[in-house]
Amino acid sequence: MTDLGKTRRAATTALLAAGLTLALAPAAHADAPAGAPAPVAAADLAKARDAVQSPAVLDRLGHFFARKGVPPTQQLTIGAAEEARAATAETPRLAGDTVPVYTLDAAFVAGTPGAAVAKAEFTASKVVAADGQTASVWTVRQGDDWRVVNIASGGDEGDYAAKAAADGGTAFREPQINAWYVLRDGRVLPLDDEARRSVGADGVALAAYQQLVHRRYGDKLPGSAYDRAGEGGGYQVGAAAPEPAGHGSLLPAVTAGAALGATALVGAVAVLRRRTGARRG
């Protein structure tokens, strides 16, 4: 892997080791395909979307777009007054649906019978600025409330979810290698370049994918020596060991109120600037 940022676009530590998933109420899903994640209740998605549309969050988004995604810890060439005017002019608006974002599940990696390939980690809402910039706003439920925990440039979460759903599948991510897949008809198929490098252009059967991720992460699950040692980081396909954490300048996500690494906060919101360059295929 030549671009360190590729493993840090959505998370910089192994979520399997951290054991973090989003406490979403699953919707009824009788007769769900084998391995399919539990769907999220429409009422939860509506509440998450409402949280994104609060005046405080929209104001924060305006500043995010005014700064072109540059974190508040980094200096801009414009002054505060100019930033404020630009933030007002951006008039952020929601585009598309608020979607659950599914992440590779530790139980699936461990080989637990009947485990789904992924679990809902957070919800994402795509937002578009007046000048065409896009961002993905991440929300998690805390008690009875929904909280915005991250703003990430671009709209991968919603885009991949829509692409997968159009073909009757479910999108999920393997954050350790920044790979996006679709589970469809018992097969795991790639949605981005990282996933194609992982499972090939034609994908693999679900059982083969389980064996693959077990080889990668089976010794890094919660309670493992890897976990107890406090290790974390991206995972290079074909590498003998995971990439250590603490390198690179890209900001990690904050999930369920727990930091997955060093973060820059804007109020209670982490700002994530994704890597640039081609991501889709």
In tens, the pLDDT along 214-267 reads 999 888 777 666 556 665 544 445 543 333 222 222 223 322 222 222 222 223
Beta bridge partners of 124: 99, 138
Quote the pLDDT of residue 279.
36
Quote the pLDDT of residue 5.
36
In contact, 276 and 7? CB cutoff 8 Å: no
Quote the pLDDT of residue 23.
47
And the tokens for 213? 């991720």
And the tokens for 148? 């915005």
In tens, the pLDDT along 40-91 reads 999 999 999 999 999 999 999 998 898 886 766 677 667 788 878 877 888 8
The model's pTM = 0.73
Task: Name the residue type at position 167.
Answer: D
In contact, 170 and 37? CB cutoff 8 Å: yes
